[in-house]
Amino acid sequence: MRKKISKLTLAGGAGALTVMFSVLVIGLDVHPIANIIFGLLTIVGMLLHFTSLIYGAWTGEDSTGLSTSQDA
C-alpha cells in the first residue's frame, strides 16, 4: 500500500529544494546575470516553502495530508 504525498508536502519540499539549489548556484558565482535570476528564484522558493508551512498551520493539515485536529 503506497502512502499518498500531499500537495502541501510537495510545495514545501519544492520550495526548500529551490532555495538550496539557488544558493548553491549563487555561491559558485557562475555568472552575474545567473546570480540575479537565482536570487529571484531564492525569494520565490522561500515564499513557496513558508506559505506551505503557514497554510498547514492555518488549516491544521500536517505533511501526511491528514488533519491534526483532535475532533475526529
Sign of CA dihedral 8, 5, 16, 37: negative
Q: For the chain, how far is it from start to end, CA to CA, in angstroms? A: 23
**Reported confidence tier of residue 36, pLDDT bands at 50, 70, 90:** very high
**Reported confidence tier of residue 11, pLDDT bands at 50, 70, 90:** confident
Residue 71 in this model has a pLDDT that exceeds 60: no
pTM score: 0.72
pLDDT score of 53: 86
Which grid coordinates are listed for 52? 506551505
The percentage of the chain sitting over the pLDDT mark of 90, rounded to a whole number, equals 49
**Residue spans per domain, the chain:** 29-57
Q: What angle do CA 25, 18, 24 make, to 5 degrees?
A: 20
